Amino acid sequence: MAMQQLSGLDAAFLAMETDTVTGHVGSICIVDPATVPGGVLDAERLRELVSERLHLVPPFRRRLVGVPFGLDNPYWIEDPDFDLTYHVRALALPAPGNDRQLAEQAGRLHARHLDRSHPLWEMYLITGLADGRAAIYTKVHHAAIDGVSGNDLLAALLDRSPEGRDLPPAPPWECDEVPSQVERLVRGAVSLTGHPLRVAKLSLDMARRLPGVATSQGRPRLPVIDRLLGRGAGAVLTSPPLRAPSTPFNKPITRWRRWAFRTLPLDDVKAVKNAHPGTTVNDVVMGLCAGALRRWLLDHDALPASPLVAAVPVSIRTKEREGTGGNAISAMVAPLPTHLEDAGERLVAAHEAMGAAKDQHGALPATLLTDVAQFAMPALAGQAARLSARLRVLEFLKPFNLIISNVPGPQVPLYYAGAELLALYPLSAIADGQGLNITVMSYRNGVYAGLVADRELVPDLEQLADYLQEELRVLLARTVAPRQGTRRAGRAAAHHSPSGAA
């Protein structure tokens, strides 16, 4: 493969990194090694699996080469020094190997920066879990994948049976020669000549969209325009404020992370959804997060009078870009009704807020984020990120309080190197001013929540994770007739839901 340049948005995830901020995302797959043919799951078996599928996961063999002086976005090249043993490692938890120990270990691994002299990913087989389970922790830099392409990457490694599947023949692989600095500098200079045309196109597109933005119910509140349009006070529930309220986790972060994970039965989430016509699974997730955050903020005497503001990533990947790597994402910003005491009212308000956020998102060009990011020189973007951290800019501006992401996953049983996949938990990224992230993924009969936070800002992250389950129980009790017995999210929830899940 020839050199491939990173988009502006891809490069932005590199520029965001500082001594305390990392730009990678990850996952924890809980697996049952008992289903592995031969009965052995070790690092060597994982390396064999990855090795035979490297042609299906292109980011795994690509590393970065920069443009001199940071004048243009860096390039991916096929790494001439690629070493699979560097990337796939193994470690064991001490007895008793419980879920709390796994969360602690994952938090430590997730806090470490990826080495940019290698392809930007790592995989750890974690053994020693109770009940004979194992975990596979994988992290990949956000510059290489987003939620959709990350799912594609994981799908390439998973199978529908323990025996695996027939794979297409791998094409011949040839590593790239590292281009000279002169060659990279020339490429960067040529790329810069096209910026004026791209700026003109973006400006014209924005001018066409401005009337729709002004009248959108989902845009941030603008008092002068709102008075002209006659928008009422009720807009607080459906439009985000210009500045999010303060919380204990909207401060500069340290180098250390905490991670907590919980399982929610998908049937229960859908039961709540079905009891409220028009709502979606994502609306229920937002309502659960609002309730859990309200409880946690009350515990800390820090509940703002106004709603929190959540950023929700949105995929803008077109059919033409299906199966490709990199980032094709945008984001919606919506009020999170933490100010409402009643759980049912929170769910209704979350549904209305997400509807307004979709209207706002639709009023702007879908590619606005990627188009704007394309104009930032990496050298200036990196300096801006470091200066922003020192001046605590995001803590002051607070465009939103946290990111909440819901990534749909596969609904059929899958196997990882022959081991049955029991649960799939996400680990995302945090940044200065936004020291908490909640991401959920669905798989089979479960909704798997992964919460990442700064270790100092949210020391009791486990409690916040417990509140997600309590909120679901409250909504379920209010909307659905109780059923006999304890409900489980399939085998995964029965074995892997920490703190007595579901």
Single out the catalytic residue among 142, 361, 495, 496.
142
Which residues, in sequence order, are CB contacts of 126 under 8 Å at separation 6+? Answer: 90, 91, 92, 93, 102, 105, 134, 135, 136, 137
211 falls in which pLDDT band (50, 70, 90)?
low
Distance of CA 419 to the CA centre of its chain: 25
* Residue 142: active-site member: yes
Task: Enumerate the domain spans of the chain.
Answer: 222-402+445-496
Rg (CA), the chain: 23
- 260-271: pLDDT as tens digits: 999 999 999 999
pLDDT of residue 482: 46
Peptide bond preceding 313 in cis form (omega within 30 of 0): no
CA 248, 250, 252 angle in degrees (round to 5)?
A: 105
CA distances from 189 to 19, 373, 452, 467 (A): 30, 18, 40, 53
Lowest mean pLDDT among 56-65, 177-186, 235-244, 480-489: 480-489
Percent residues over pLDDT 70 in the chain: 73
pLDDT of residue 364: 56
Cβ atoms of 11 and 379 within 8 Å: the answer is no
Mean pLDDT of the chain: 82
pLDDT of residue 151: 83
Cβ atoms of 496 and 423 within 8 Å: the answer is yes
Q: CATH class for domain 222-402+445-496? A: alpha beta
**Res. 284: pLDDT tops 50:** yes
Q: Residue 458 burial by CB count (10 A; 0-12/13-18/19+): exposed, middle or buried?
A: buried
pLDDT of residue 148: 76
Q: How many Å apart are CA 138 and CA 28, to the nearest integer? A: 7
